Structure 1
Amino acid sequence: MLEGGIPVPSSVLISGETGSGKTTLCMQYLFKGAELGERGIYFMALSEPAELMLRFISTYEFVDHRHFGTLIRYIDLGEVIEKGDEDEILELMDREVRSFMPRRIVIDSLPFIRTVLKDGYNRFLFRLGAIMKSWDSAVLITAESRSSTPYPQDIACITDGVIILYNMEIGRTRRRSLEILKMMGTSHRAGKHALDITSKGITVYPGL
């Protein structure tokens, strides 16, 4: 799918409807990095205890609990987001990244911040885009989408790549698929490709 994987440094929007596999894909990406000795940070915009996140992903075979809290750091942004201070949000994220020096970063789910910052959200995105360029990391940003709007344009404008996950209803069944809409810095296969979620995590079948 991607020749050489996701470039580092870069930022990639992971967009999809509920149940399409966004969180699974991102966590699998972080744990794969941990297997390689790479540090990762998971920023959670929706306030949620780390224990709940671990409980959610523990059914997957790729999860190694030894990495959580060591090579993978979980940062709950909910409390600072509720204050509505974009400076404080950005300073916290930047401080954590520069302190931990991760190779892989996940921001889940960025559009939630819009409900708090409102008119200041676009300015926040612009500043976040500039800060991410200074991180020597691959950053995955998740966002909910709708069938009529497969990805948020405002986030796509600050990222180097866009990956869309689909969970389409066809007849009485659902078909999951993945599409790499754009990816700067590397070649990639165009079109939609079948995707399956099992106990092993996400598997993509190029060409299907």
Structure 2
Amino acid sequence: MGKTGIEYFDNFILKDGFPDGSLILVAGEPGAGKTIFSATYLYNGAKKFGEKGVYISLAETKREFYEAMKQLGMDFEELEKKGLFRFIDLVTVSRGAIEKEIQFLMSEISSFQPKRVVIDSISVFAQILGLEKTRVFLHTMLGRFIKAYNATALLIAEKPMGSKTIGHGVEEFVVDGVIILKYKSLGEITRRVMEIPKMRRRSVERAEYEYVITKNGIEFLELPDLVRDKGEYTLEKITTGIEKLDKMLDGGYTRDQMF
């Protein structure tokens, strides 16, 4: 199905969800919400659509992940008990053991047959395994499973602060879609925006979409399209529909602000 279960994203951003059989890169700076977005995709997949998911972590332990997600209302332990979710912990895997662990990893995925897979993060994976072996893994092992079972994999990649490049450079060449989560400054206000520069078999209408992270996870701001009226500038304010954001913007956006 490929839908995230996040209403605004599914209705207005990727109306048909992620393409089946695809690898999607989710890149962003630290704290941008990559893990939360990807975990939400897995959680909603199981809760709302009955699709099994696997989270492969090189960033945090199972306990850390479960506790952090539970604070956002996502109980992955419950899903695990129901046979809808598996967490594979590779945090302590050494360089010498990674290739053996990959065999175990693919064995687990093949037997469980999830429709949704997340690797957190592919950047760390590439550091341990090396660029060429990571490319082979994505193409010939994970990629083949994903396409054979019409599953979808989200590959989390770290984008260093201020950097224009993503991860180690290998990721962009093997994926079907790229989502970038970033910070943007508007005066003294810092906004979170999502960009989707690449998504095969899908059209994306806007250059970017604004979102916030709340106790409920990722929430998108339903901002109106701003257009100039006959080429004339106006200071008329347009409400964002969000009271706190309107106060921060002194009543809302003006018609001439481009974002």
TM-score, normalised relative to structure 2: 0.72
Q: 2:138 aligns with which of 120, 128, 136?
A: 128
The alpha-carbon deviation at position 132 of structure 1 amounts to 2.5
Q: Which runs of 5+ in 2 are unaligned?
A: 1-12, 225-259
Which one-letter code corresponds to 2:131 in the other structure?
Y
Aligned 8 A contact 1:161 1:183 in 2? yes
Distance 1:84 1:64, change over 3 A: closer
Aligned 8 A contact 2:180 2:196 in 1? yes
* Residue of structure 1 in register with 2:250 after alignment: none
Q: Which runs of 5+ in 1 are unaligned?
A: none
Query: Which is bigger in relative contact order (C-alpha 8 A, separation at least 6)?
Result: 1
The alpha-carbon deviation at position 156 of structure 1 amounts to 1.0
The C-alpha deviation readout for 1:140-192, integer Å capped at 9, x for no partner, is 00011032225233101111000000123444332101011111122223411
Q: 1:162 aligns with which of 178, 183, 205?
A: 178
The alpha-carbon deviation at position 45 of structure 1 amounts to 1.6
* Residue of structure 1 in register with 2:156 after alignment: 142
After TM superposition, the structure 1 = structure 2 runs for residues 105-124 of structure 1, keeping only pairs within 5 Å, are: 105-117=117-129, 120-124=130-134
Secondary structure class of the residue paired with 2:196:
strand
* Residue of structure 2 in register with 1:186 after alignment: 202
Larger strand fraction of residues: 1
The C-alpha deviation readout for 1:46-69, integer Å capped at 9, x for no partner, is 3x3311111111111344641135
- 1:90 corresponds to 2:102: yes
After TM superposition, the structure 1 = structure 2 runs for residues 31-42 of structure 1, keeping only pairs within 5 Å, are: 31-35=43-47, 36-42=49-55
Specify the structure having the higher radius of gyration (Cα): 2
* Residue of structure 2 in register with 1:2 after alignment: 14
Aligned 8 A contact 2:24 2:154 in 1? yes
Which one-letter code corresponds to 2:30 in the other structure?
T
Aligned residues: 204
TM-score, normalised relative to structure 1: 0.88
Secondary structure class of the residue paired with 1:134:
helix
Secondary structure class of the residue paired with 1:61:
coil
- 1:59 corresponds to 2:75: no
Percent of pairs with identical residues? 29
Name the CA distance, whole Å, in 1 between partners of 2:132 and 2:196.
Answer: 25
Name the CA distance, whole Å, in 2 between partners of 1:64 and 1:111.
Answer: 24
CA RMSD of aligned residues (A): 2.0
Distance 1:100 1:166, change over 3 A: same
Q: 1:49 aligns with which of 52, 61, 80?
A: 61
The alpha-carbon deviation at position 206 of structure 1 amounts to 5.9
